[in-house]
Amino acid sequence: MQKTKTYGGRDIPEDLRPLSGELESLRQILLQLAKERTSGQTSGLIAVTRMFNGITIEQWKQVAQKHGLQEWFALSLDESSHLNLSHLLQALEDLAHQSEHDPLTGLENRRAFNRKLQIEAERVDRSNGTVSLACIDIDNFKNVNDTYGHPCGDEVLCGLAEVLSETKRVYDVAARLGGEEFALLLPGASALKAKSMVERVLLRFSEQLFGCEPHAPFSCTFSAGVSCMSGRGTTTPAMLMELADKALYEAKTSGKNCVHVARQQPDFEYDRSTMVHSNEKQFLFSGTE
């Protein structure tokens, strides 16, 4: 018996959940955009295209009728048009990837990272959750370029990127912000947990050996600063980044090759009117009447 799951008031077979879920999400987004249209704005018509391989028009009609997707228009593609659209789709995907990823390391770039930091901060504010941010800077990187050459410096950058990609969790975000600066976004991680995770990255990175002939193999370290946003408060993504940068500076000035956690004030103000003051405590526990 095929497993089903109720979605949008309908029972969706397990093998169709990705399709139906994607269409439902897109439907809600477009409906919201239509509601937000300003008064007097001319109405428009847009076609949104998504290609699916191995599905015939007859199969689509059955799916649409059974799961309430009649407002989505399906167009059958012959071999030549499908080939051309496939090339176009691949080109668009490549351009989108290039616009948000660092060409050397393959990590996300500053633009993509800032967007995901903003999204994560909004999630934390809505859900009263936690997110930590680590700013990472390779120690003495200028000396690496000057001594071993820029190609060897690129190897070091790619080496750190590889360690970050292999060590981070699936939902963490690793990025190269520019030069020898990297960042790691850690949803759900407290400051102490983030510090421990970044220290594991540092250990693995420091154990790597880079060989650039005719020089002898060498290793590198990095310094990192960690900041944390927790609960519904006043901390913004810009403040979170600033706190991590300050902690990174402290790590650099304290000798490098270490991870520092930002010293930050609570995101909320205590309501001191409800607190018991010292003279009231004396009265409560003195036993006097």
Task: Name the residue ranges covered by the structural domains of the chain.
Answer: 4-35+47-76, 110-261
What does CATH list as the number for 110-261?
3.30.70.270
Cα gap 226→172, rounded to integer Å: 14
Instruction: Give, as one character, the DSSP assignment of residue 277.
Output: P
Report the amino acid identity of residue 210: F
Annotated catalytic, 180? Answer: yes
| Contact of 191 with 259, CB cutoff 8 Å | no
Give the pLDDT of the chain (289 residues) as one tens digit per residue.
444 444 444 454 555 555 666 777 777 787 777 777 655 555 666 777 777 777 788 888 888 787 777 777 777 776 665 556 667 667 777 777 778 899 999 999 999 999 999 999 999 988 889 999 999 999 999 999 999 999 999 999 999 999 999 999 999 999 999 999 999 999 999 999 999 999 999 999 999 999 888 889 999 999 999 999 987 777 899 999 999 999 999 999 999 999 999 986 544 444 445 455 555 556 555 555 4
Q: Is 218 left (phi over 0), alpha (psi -120 to 50) or beta?
A: beta
- What CA–CA distances, in Å, run from 203 to 28, 76, 187? 45, 54, 22
Residue 37: how many other CB atoms lie within 10 Å: 11
| Contact of 189 with 131, CB cutoff 8 Å | yes
- What CA–CA distances, in Å, run from 208 to 112, 196, 217, 221, 240? 28, 19, 10, 9, 30
The residue from 58, 108, 166, 180 that is catalytic is: 180
Strand pairing class (259-261; 4-7): unpaired
pTM: 0.64
The CA R_g of the chain, rounded to the nearest whole Å, is 27
